Amino acid sequence: MNQMLQDSADAKDASAAEGSPGTVDRPPAPAHPRFTKPQRVAFVQSAWHPEVIEECRSAFLDEIEARNIARAHIDVFEVPGAFEIPLHVQLLAKTRRYTAIVAAGLVVDDEYIAETVIKALMDVQLRTEVPVFSAVLTPQQFHETAAHVEFFRKHFATKGVEVAEACANTLLSLERLRGQVAAGIV
C-alpha cells in the first residue's frame, strides 16, 4: 500500500515537472453553440460611475464574443442615468434591429429607482418580444471610496459575464423555439 502511495506521489511530481514552471494547465475553453442566424445586440449603459460600468461592458463583450456573437454586432449606447435606460431600450427594441438588448447601470441607494427601471425593462421585453437583460444594480450603503469602487468594479465584471451568458443562452433558446413554432412542432 505504501508503495502505491509513493508511486502516485512520484507520478504527480513527474507530471508537474513536465509543465513549464509557473504555468497552470487549464481545461480548454468550452465550445459554445453557434447561432443559425446572425445576432445583433444593443448594450445600453448609464453614464454614472463609468469606472464601474466599464467593467461590466468589457466583461460582457469578451464573454459574448466567446459565445459566438461578434463584437461588430454589438452596439453600445450611453444614457445620462439609469432612469433613462428604459426609454432608450424601448426605442431600440421597436427598431427590430436587435435580437437582444442589455442594460447596465449602478443605482446608488435608491431601491425605488432600481425597481422602476427593472419593471420598465420587463414591460419593454413583454411588449416587443425582444429579450431585455439587466445588469442594473443597486448596492446598499455604497460609498465613493476606493475600496467600494474596486469591490463593485469586480462585482460588475462578474455581472457582465453573467448577463452575456444569459443573453446568449436565451437567444439560442428563442432561436430553437421560433424554429419549432415555424415548423408547427409547438
* Element spanning 155, H or E: helix 146-182
15 is in an annotated binding site: no
What gap in Å lies between CA 94 and CA 141, rounded to an integer? 36
Distance CA 178, CA 116 (A): 30
Is 8 assigned a ligand-binding role in the annotation? no
CB proximity list for 177: less than 8 A, separation 6 or greater: 186
Backbone φ, ψ for residue 141 (5° rounding): 60, 40
108 is in an annotated binding site: yes
106 labeled part of a ligand binding site: yes
Nearest to 80, CA basis, from 114, 125, 108, 48:
48
User: Do 25 and 12 meet the contact criterion of CB atoms below 8 Å apart?
Assistant: no
Q: Is residue 49 a known part of a binding site?
A: no
Binding residues: 48, 82-84, 106-108, 134, 148
Residues of each annotated binding site for 5-amino-6-(D-ribitylamino)uracil: 48, 82-84, 106-108, 134
What residues are designated binding site for (2S)-2-hydroxy-3-oxobutyl phosphate? 148
